[in-house]
Structure 1
Amino acid sequence: MKNDKKAKEPENLPFEKALERLETIIDKMESGNLQLDEMVKYFEEGTALSSLCEKKLKELEKKIEVLVKDGHEGKWKEFKSDDKKSNDEDSDIGSNRAKDSLL
């Protein structure tokens, strides 16, 4: 069990806190004042935080797509993440098709 409060599970962090922590980690790593074992520890934590931020952004983007496709009524529909989707489907988020649906 870890005693470091900052080592708590990243999935429990709100997006803003995760991003703030990630920026702090980047600053520390770029400073060049870390020992190798510290650098590896921060790299591992940063990787987990980066994945969390990316996941949360994708989920929010899909919620926005659902909102827009719902006839602009302003009702939020809960999007349930389907981890079984192919990467091709996820890449459609940034495609022209997805952008056109927002217009």
Structure 2
Amino acid sequence: MSDTAVDEMSFETAMAELEKVLGQLERGDVALDESIALYERGAALKARCEAKLKEAEEKVAAITLDGEGNPTGTKAVEGL
């Protein structure tokens, strides 16, 4: 597990760590206390990935197109 705060991670970093956490949990070779900590970290990483995906989807949805389908700019999206 990295020491980086989950809310500071990029999508790619959070996803990579989530995969490591899942691998450790699936192997089942960690103590119960560590399994609980890994599960909690995994839940936070999953939430971070979902938030980053939603943010990206909102940015894509905000792109405006001209009559020929070419991007002309973006609309302001609240919170971005």
TM-score over 0.5 (shorter chain): yes
Q: How many residues align?
A: 76
TM-score w.r.t. the length of structure 1 is 0.65
Alignment root-mean-square deviation, CA:
2.0
8 Å CA contact 1:59–1:79 kept in 2: the answer is no
* Higher-helix-fraction structure: 1
C-alpha separation in 2, matches of 1:78 and 1:42: 38
39 and 16 in structure 1: CA distance in 2 versus 1, 3 angstrom threshold = same
Cα 1:80/1:31, change in 2 over 3 Å: same
Alignment of 1:43-82 (within 5 A): 43-67=39-63, 70-71=64-65, 72-77=70-75, 79-81=77-79
Kindly indicate which of the two structures has a greater share of residues assigned to strand.
Answer: 2
Instruction: Mark the runs of 5 or more structure 2 residues left unpaired by the alignment.
Output: none
**Structure with greater contact order relative to length (CA < 8 Å, sep ≥ 6):** 2
